[in-house]
Structure 1
Amino acid sequence: MAFRQRHAATCFKSILQVLLVFFFSYCPVQAEISSAFIDQQTGQLAISEGYRDDFVAWANFTDDIDKSGWSFLEVSTSRRFNDSIQAYAAGAVEAAVTSQLMYKHWVNTLMGYCGPKTFESGYCQRLKAYITSNLEWVMEQIQEQGNAPYWHQAKLALLQLKGLEDSYNDELSFPGGPFSINPFGFLLFQMGGDIEDLESALNKSSLTRPLGSGSCSALIKLLPGNKDLLVSHDTWNTYQSMLRIMKKYTFAFSVSPKDSAALPGGTQAFSSYPGSIFSGDDFYILSSGLVTLETTIGNSNPDLWKFVRPTGAVMEWLRNIVANRLASSGQQWAQIFSKYNSGTYNNQWMIVDYNHFTPGQTVIKDQLFTVLEQIPGLVVYTDKTQELMEKGYWASFNIPYYPEVFNASGCNELVEKFGPWFSLDKSPRAQIFRRNQTAVTDLDSMVRLMRYNNYKEDPLSWCDACDPHGNGENAISARSDLNPANGTYPFGALTQRSHGGTDMKLTSYGLFRGFGMLAVNGPTWDQVPPFQWSTSPYKDLLHMGHPDTWTFKPVKVTWSS
């Protein structure tokens, strides 16, 4: 894929710009706005700077990374146009305003992955063949069943991705018929989680994810007296991934060509990345009243990889998008997401339905909270409202909850080999969440817990088999970079790595109704030293566009529309 940097577009001040209210300070920001419209002379889609009344889609972007740690993007489409052109235009305007970040993020995170020097490897050829076969199968379903809501939304997501890539490459041309997706283009931004599992399923010799590597912490917390329901998520990722965009999509798509009803999840706010048309973390606030989030549980049983096949499957990132758009309840979300299980990016999903929550309500019936777990060949989901009510919280920390998933994915063997670190009840984060969640009484205390890392003093962060014993991985927000390079560790997750909790997002009953949240980007520095590229062991890793020192404070995110 050919990548080019664009010249910086002129910034526009506008009443449409994102409103950022800092917890600790306020700083005005400028917005860059672009519109996609139908050129009356050529009849083709075109993009111009600024807001136009005749937009097919328009984007409003603010790069505030140096001041707040985040950039902010809003994309809206117009129902005056058909769904397909809306979707393509949505991708096109996003690329128009975020192309510089997209370039930097590609350089930092994907440059060289199955590139010219490595493409001849057997793995890269197998990966391309797998992705190509899968895309062909999905396109066949779209052609044959395009009027069905599921496949209509799948098509729109792929058109949005094509618009994003075409616009970035200055090759804007709305496809009038069947279209193709570059298997090694910006699709790789969408497939990051899927590829982690495909590396194992396709026998890549060097895997991206070390044994036991965590990928996110999550907490759903009922405050005392049920006065509020808080939903929070920490992304755990490589530090090179920290160029972030907080996004809000407002898409005027219909459910299907034969059902003109508006999408339940047509408006979504979520944490995301340059070049990604979904969250990837994942953390979503949806107009349906749902908040959806996940932590990765992975798969440690090689016998299950036989269920990972390119046909009959939809990649997790795409099933995620379709479920978020179409579902009106937690049960419906789980049913939609369960279809065409790819067995890749295997996660525990939590679906909170704020339609079934009233602050102060003493009795909450079912349908408030659903938990789903996916591994190759198996999806399990049930309503967990009553367990949430009884315990007052639900914590998620990369270990399966359902026994059939725990056992089938090989977690019981990991416990036998490495001990309780891999167990559901006695792993470090399970114990820290259980002990510390009782102190959560408001937004501030929830933020403190989700940023918690006191690994040198907290006995629950202790690792008997490690030298030194305190380990920066064993916390709610990991700091694996603080583990000594010359230490002794029983498995890869506990070693020194450029990896840890890279953000925190939190919403509440009051915030979610405006698609709002509290958010902080960067590794935690509440109880440990701040992360600084220039003094870290990883200063030579590519981190184009990153601030040097990550000492950002939480911001309250609200939106212009």
Structure 2
Amino acid sequence: FLASICIIPLILCVLFVSGVIFFICSLFLCVFVGFIGYSLMNPFNLLCVMQTFGWKPDLLCCFLISWSFLEVTSSSLYNESFQAYAAGAVEAAVTSQLIYKHWMNTLMGYCGPFTSDIGYCERLKAFIGTNMQWVQKQIQKNPSSPYWYQVHLALLQLKGMEDSYNAELSFPTGQFSINPMGFLLFQLGGDLEDLESALNKSSQTRALGSGSCSALIKLLPNNKELLVSHDTWNTYQSMLRIMKKYTFAFKASPSEHNLLPGRTQAFSSYPGSIFSGDDFYILSSGLVTMETTIGNNNPALWKFVQPTGTVMEWLRNIVANRLASTGREWAEIFSKYNSGTYNNQWMIVDYNHFTPGKSNIKEGLFVVLEQIPGLVMFDDKTQELMKKGYWASYNIPYFVDIFNASGCNELVEKFGPWFSLDKNPRAQIFRRNQTDVTDVDSMLRLMRYNNYLEDPLSKCDGCNPAANGENAISARSDLNPANGTYPFGALKQRPHGGTDMKMTSYEMYRAYGMVAVSGPTFDQVPPFQWSSSPFKDLMHMGHPDIWNFKPINAWIMDLNDSYLLGEFVCSSMVRDVCCSAQFLCVFDWSDAAISTPGF
């Protein structure tokens, strides 16, 4: 296929990648990237020339905002499979140091040579291998299917990332394999939480009751604005973060002519990942999609987790974000091939159906989906949002059938209202405090709220001490005493809590804009500090010691077509305004050699 685009000898640009990349703890960068080399004699000898502007080596980004930024854009002039592979390759090339550190911090020992759970690791490798083989067969059997075409492109992007990082670039022309214990583990982070239970891992990562995220959708007074916000809850070792923006010139399928509805995506992410994982996305379709984890506590349902006939959640997530034009379409696409892993409540907001000040919105604005093994349910909840003025999500299923089938009713009987939809601590805090939200700043304060020492709603029945850092909108479980008494694992001291906050609005989303904060909350509690933490011996390569970062604005365009990234502005029209130096990075497709002459 490459030969077909070599007819005109002077075609130079095979893939155009432009971006603004802030390297955590390395360089403060504004990056403009382009594939420009091309050879008729050897079409596989592709040169990627990366022109990088404006580095300031005395400014370490991790001590400024603690976000890296990456933007990747591809051209519709070229083969989409090649675009996908090359996009992954370029991302790995420019974020390789972050990838290494993130792997060391989060996955280094997972099913490694010194693992104590050999049986589980063998079962996991076999499961992943069988699943990937089945997926590849579906791709081959359904070449004109939009669904399987997008699965194929996503896997090619991941393959390019893995090959680039390993300096083994070779564009696959047929069926290809991906190392089940390599970059695929970065994508499977959420799926692994449930695969560990389904495959009988002896020591499981997820503590009983452990939440993964808080979310709030809030209509401001008189419906003047619709705010959408999300807190990631995760282990503190995961806090190397990249804010990403992908614009891929993909069509739904090879036979179609129109570009994807979700061709542009802005999302919070991690090194080595090609999707969010938090999850929080702003899409060119007008959709904003996000989730909080609901899990599964019914062992009888694990029989539905099978390696054939299913697509892992991270892939279904990517495909739905790309193909869907409406919230209902998103839910229908995501529901296919339910893997029963990374079981979440998804919230899909369609800003195409929102008009500031309008109150008679009947449907289409808001769809809720919940997944557990063997069952997916979704419904339009626009009317409930309009009536209540908000929707809060806090790791408890909304749909009664999902709640009961997943075992939540039994948890309520055993442990009390902490596991209930209405009386969970976060449910009560959201219900009480959401009326105070009148603008972006007050929304931010609510999403970073943790006043567990003073708030009676943060008290824990059966805990000693009663005040518990888990029982807040943005958890700080590290603040719970190690010698306390707790009825279940989520309430114990652990290196886990709210690790960020993201928020967008009707005003911001059209420019893919969001307000974001990285790190655990410190509004009413002390900032998290590794050196004084009980967890200081955990691997945290590339992390700052103290996490007390201010909110930033990400991907906001001003009238001069500038990207506002934190406190640093790089104009896309006059880029040399932020340039103090330049260097040329040559990426050779034939041998994956990278050099930086003059740097």
Shorter-chain-normalised TM-score: which range?
Answer: over 0.9
Local SS of the residue matching 1:155:
helix
Local SS of the residue matching 1:259:
coil
**Amino acid of the residue matched to residue 498 of structure 2?**
G
**Amino acid of the residue matched to residue 43 of structure 1?**
P
Write the deviation string for residues 29-51 of structure 1: whole angstroms up to 9, x where unpaired: 42244434553152116353424
CA distance in 2, matches of 1:185, 1:135: 14
CA distance in 1, matches of 2:487, 2:230: 27
**Which residue pairs with 1:478 in the alignment?**
475
Deviation at 1:348, TM superposition (A): 0.1
**Which residue pairs with 1:459 in the alignment?**
456
Cα separation, partners in 2 of 1:17 and 1:251, compared to 1, 3 Å: closer
Deviation at 1:147, TM superposition (A): 1.3
1:35 aligns with 2:34: yes
Local SS of the residue matching 2:46:
strand
Deviation at 1:177, TM superposition (A): 1.4
**Which residue pairs with 1:57 in the alignment?**
none
1:348–1:400 Cα contact (<8 Å) kept: yes
**Which residue pairs with 1:149 in the alignment?**
146
> Quick one: which of 507, 519, 522 aligns to 2:519?
522
**Amino acid of the residue matched to residue 30 of structure 1?**
L
**Which residue pairs with 2:50 in the alignment?**
50
1:18–1:558 Cα contact (<8 Å) kept: no
**Which residue pairs with 1:333 in the alignment?**
330
2:450–2:473 Cα contact (<8 Å) kept: yes
**Which residue pairs with 2:3 in the alignment?**
none
**Amino acid of the residue matched to residue 232 of structure 2?**
T
**Which residue pairs with 1:226 in the alignment?**
223
Question: Which structure has the bigger radius of gyration?
Answer: 2
> Quick one: which of 249, 258, 277 aligns to 1:280?
277
Deviation at 1:558, TM superposition (A): 1.9
1:260 aligns with 2:257: yes
2:20–2:31 Cα contact (<8 Å) kept: no
**Which residue pairs with 2:162 in the alignment?**
165
> Quick one: which of 267, 270, 281 aligns to 1:270?
267
Write the deviation string for residues 90-146 of structure 1: whole angstroms up to 9, x where unpaired: 101100110000000000000010011228710000000000000000000000002
1:34–1:96 Cα contact (<8 Å) kept: no
Local SS of the residue matching 1:255:
coil
**Which residue pairs with 2:484 in the alignment?**
487
1:96 aligns with 2:73: no
**Which residue pairs with 1:507 in the alignment?**
504
Alignment of 1:181-200 (within 5 A): 181-200=178-197
CA distance in 1, matches of 2:331, 2:264: 19
**Amino acid of the residue matched to residue 96 of structure 1?**
A
1:122 aligns with 2:119: yes
How high is the sequence identity, in percent, across the aligned residues?
Answer: 73
Local SS of the residue matching 2:387:
helix
**Amino acid of the residue matched to residue 407 of structure 1?**
N
**Amino acid of the residue matched to residue 310 of structure 2?**
A
Unaligned runs of 5+ in 2: 1-17, 53-58, 557-562, 564-571, 573-599
Deviates more, 1:213-222 or 1:63-72: 63-72
Write the deviation string for residues 202-252 of structure 1: whole angstroms up to 9, x where unpaired: 000000000000100000000000000000000000000000000000000
Deviation at 1:19, TM superposition (A): 9.9
Number of positions where the alignment pairs a residue of Structure 1 with one of Structure 2: 531
Cα separation, partners in 2 of 1:264 and 1:51, compared to 1, 3 Å: farther
2:527–2:546 Cα contact (<8 Å) kept: yes
Q: Deviating runs (4+, > 4 A) in structure 1?
A: none
1:497 aligns with 2:498: no
CA distance in 1, matches of 2:116, 2:353: 50
Cα separation, partners in 2 of 1:19 and 1:440, compared to 1, 3 Å: farther
Cα separation, partners in 2 of 1:17 and 1:263, compared to 1, 3 Å: closer
TM superposition score normalised by structure 1:
0.93
> Quick one: which of 527, 530, 548 aligns to 1:551?
548
**Amino acid of the residue matched to residue 526 of structure 2?**
P
1:346–1:374 Cα contact (<8 Å) kept: yes
CA distance in 2, matches of 1:479, 1:379: 31
Alignment of 1:334-483 (within 5 A): 334-483=331-480
Cα separation, partners in 2 of 1:45 and 1:539, compared to 1, 3 Å: farther
**Which residue pairs with 2:13 in the alignment?**
none
1:176 aligns with 2:201: no
**Amino acid of the residue matched to residue 322 of structure 2?**
R
Write the deviation string for residues 356-380 of structure 1: whole angstroms up to 9, x where unpaired: 0001112112000000000000000
1:542 aligns with 2:539: yes
Deviation at 1:80, TM superposition (A): 1.1
1:45–1:174 Cα contact (<8 Å) kept: no
CA distance in 2, matches of 1:36, 1:110: 32
Cα separation, partners in 2 of 1:119 and 1:487, compared to 1, 3 Å: closer
**Amino acid of the residue matched to residue 29 of structure 2?**
Q
1:217 aligns with 2:214: yes
Write the deviation string for residues 414-437 of structure 1: whole angstroms up to 9, x where unpaired: 000000000000000000000000
**Which residue pairs with 2:591 in the alignment?**
none
1:35–1:47 Cα contact (<8 Å) kept: no
CA distance in 2, matches of 1:274, 1:63: 18
